[in-house]
Structure 1
Amino acid sequence: MSNLEPRPEETPCRAPEGVGGEVRLLESRRVPLGGLRAMEVGRTLPQRTVPTVGAWCFLDCFGPERTDMRVLPHPHAGLQTVTWPIRGEIRHRDSLGSDVAVKPEQLNLMTSGPGIAHSEFTLGREPMVHGLQLWVALPGGGTAARPDFEQHADLPRYEGDRVRGIVVIGELDGAASPASAYTPLLGAQLEVAPGAGGAVPLRPDFEHAVLVIEGAVEAAGTALEPGPLLYLGTGREELPLVSSGGATVFLLGGEPFGEELVMWWNFVGRDHEDVVAAREAWEDPDQTRFGAVAGHDGARIPAPPLPGGRLRPRRRR
């Protein structure tokens, strides 16, 4: 999904300093997305205090709502997009020639490398849609990664003590996803049975965060409902989860990302010049960096104007 804000703020990020086994409740902010018939998303990453969780640098929760989502071709650079539908189906087309239906419990992973373009349209007339859109920052600005698209319909299952789930990317307790990852990373959807709970094993060298998708849960002793992201820092060997009525949560994890990032619109760069170059390439009518998405007769989303001043990294607080 594109960041369709008409005036996207720069989101510069510095590598974490002194990340520890802390707990922070990061509130979701409602972001209206132009062009999606007033559709709003709940955005919990990036935050000014916690811009990344591992290499996870962007997290939107959309729906549940009935909407006709029509996102015309738009570019991405320096990142991977992870589309995780919970309800509804989305047609994905990209400049590599991919044309697939994105379905619940299937991972749809697009690696931009230095540049890729894609479009997303809901299937059906105003279907019920609900899901997550996440971005992963690529090391080195993505220069070593080639543009690619993967769809994984048969993902490994985690079977824990009264908690079970799907390993979307990375590895959890021996269950390893086939998805391509360029840094040590974890993404998993977990189901906590009503009246039950258990402890999910964690890598202490990873920082982690938890988002409730449905229901309510007590995570690491903190009451959590849909909306905010619970940041857990590093140094944890397990995550206790308890729910009286049952809950679905998404667990993020990863080795703290050691590179400075500047995020603006749909680009993840290392400095101001990276973002400017990506924007100029997309606006060039003869551009070849991002390619073209078939089936739209040349229609696409233009890049918004850059903000005044120089885009700079910002320190994690």
Structure 2
Amino acid sequence: MAVRVEVVRPREVPLGGPRAMTVRRTLPSRERSFVGAWCFADHYGPDDVAATGGMDVAPHPHCGLATVSWLFAGEVEHRDSLGTVATVRPGEVNLMTAGRGISHSEVSTSSTSVLHGVQLWVVLPAASAAVEPRFEHHVPPVLEPADGVSAQVFVGSLWESESPVRVESPLLGAEVRLRPGTSLALQVPATFEIGVLVDTGSVTVAGRELVAAELGVLDPAGSGATRDVALTAGEDGARVVVLGGEPFGEEIVMWWNFVGRSHDEVAAAREAWESGDGDVAGPFGAVEGYEGDVARIPAPPLPGVRLRPRGGRARPSDHQAEAEAPACS
């Protein structure tokens, strides 16, 4: 039986803040809310920082989710309200679990001439949505799982390589690079939804060609412990980000940088951020050392209707679109 590949095409949106940069967003979309617990995927660059100004996202809050930063070129300095100062570089992963609440800033470094990467979010299940916030940095080893293929596993496990960064639900995140015409059978858990986000080149996934910035999604297989997902690079080769996870069946409300289980929960998180002045005693804490033009990004007004929840198998509602344009990384 032929495997169906759902193709999600990107749309350009501004990454929030006074100095918004343009990104290509595939999650969430009208076609799909999640791939596993992956709930947000922004793909940006390669951008000439001298022309675009690079990334400068002032302190802003998150709760109920985790953020994953993965770069192909450039450097980004992360600061958060835990006191973390960390620079992420190509081939390294920053994973920040917001849990009950955290604030952070992200700024491309002065040595960055080209900025290129992905910013990903993971929704936390209800049982761990309010965990204590934490930050982790990891440099995964470079693997050669087949001739003409190199890869790094930054979340979860693949090819007997396991990332030590902690996640709250079964997940997979990996960069895979294929030389022109190379084929690979990607062995993944049969219970996982799998997304293949193309960075450069083109790749055929289970018989369906994807080009740069497109996301191809496969539903879980019907049976078995694992299954093979066939990837074949086009004539220029390909670099892809593979995302996977068990279907996320819980209903959530996702708006701006907050994830909750109801409109009221999200409204309370917004109020908590807006009523604070950056005092470290506040629920999101304060980011020290950020030197941008503004001290913090204010939360946009809530829409004039109650936000409706979305589920793991549901499509985003029209009201959820309010959350997307101003989102911060």
TM > 0.5 between the two? yes
| Residue 40 (structure 2) pairs with residue 50 (structure 1) | no
2:60 and 2:105 in contact (8 A); partners too: yes
Report the CA distance between 1:295 and its aligned residue: 1.5
Report the CA distance between 1:22 and its aligned residue: 3.1
Q: Is there any run of 5+ residues in structure 2 with no aligned partner, and where? A: 316-329
Q: Which one of 305, 309, 312 corresponds to residue 308 of structure 2?
A: 312
1:199 and 1:240 in contact (8 A); partners too: yes
| Residue 228 (structure 2) pairs with residue 238 (structure 1) | yes
Secondary structure of 1:216 counterpart:
strand
- Residues in 1 aligned to 2:83 and 2:19: alpha-carbon distance in whole angstroms: 27
Q: Is there any run of 5+ residues in structure 1 with no aligned partner, and where? A: 1-19
Q: Paired residue for 2:102?
A: 116
Greater Cα shift, 122-131 or 67-76: 122-131
- Equivalent residues in 2 for 1:154-233 (5 A)? 154-155=140-141, 157=143, 159-160=145-146, 162-233=148-219
- The amino acid across from 1:265 in the alignment is W
Report the CA distance between 1:21 and its aligned residue: 5.6
2:17 and 2:297 in contact (8 A); partners too: no
TM-score by length of 2: 0.85
1:141 and 1:269 in contact (8 A); partners too: no
Report the CA distance between 1:49 and its aligned residue: 2.8
Q: Paired residue for 1:264?
A: 255
2:102 and 2:133 in contact (8 A); partners too: yes
- The amino acid across from 1:241 in the alignment is L
2:92 and 2:137 in contact (8 A); partners too: yes
Q: Paired residue for 1:289?
A: 283
Secondary structure of 2:31 counterpart:
coil
2:142 and 2:152 in contact (8 A); partners too: yes
- Residues in 1 aligned to 2:144 and 2:67: alpha-carbon distance in whole angstroms: 23
1:66 and 1:126 in contact (8 A); partners too: no
Q: Which one of 120, 135, 142 corresponds to residue 121 of structure 2?
A: 135
1:166-223, CA deviations, whole angstroms, 9 ceiling, x for partnerless residues?
A: 1110011322111111101001101112222121112111111101111111111111
Report the CA distance between 1:101 and its aligned residue: 1.1
Distance 1:142 1:265, change over 3 A: farther
Give the % identical residues.
Answer: 50
Q: Paired residue for 2:322?
A: none
1:161 and 1:198 in contact (8 A); partners too: no
- The amino acid across from 1:310 in the alignment is R
Q: Paired residue for 1:74?
A: 60
1:226-285, CA deviations, whole angstroms, 9 ceiling, x for partnerless residues?
A: 122111111071111112321100111000012111110001111111111110110112
TM-score by length of 1: 0.88
Distance 1:54 1:151, change over 3 A: same
- Residues in 2 aligned to 1:197 and 1:48: alpha-carbon distance in whole angstroms: 31
- Residues in 2 aligned to 1:144 and 1:73: alpha-carbon distance in whole angstroms: 20
| Residue 306 (structure 2) pairs with residue 301 (structure 1) | no
Distance 1:142 1:127, change over 3 A: farther
Secondary structure of 1:274 counterpart:
helix
Q: Paired residue for 2:10?
A: 28
Secondary structure of 1:242 counterpart:
strand
Distance 1:36 1:157, change over 3 A: farther
1:170 and 1:184 in contact (8 A); partners too: yes
1:30 and 1:43 in contact (8 A); partners too: yes
Q: CA RMSD in A?
A: 2.1
Q: Paired residue for 1:6?
A: none
Secondary structure of 2:189 counterpart:
coil
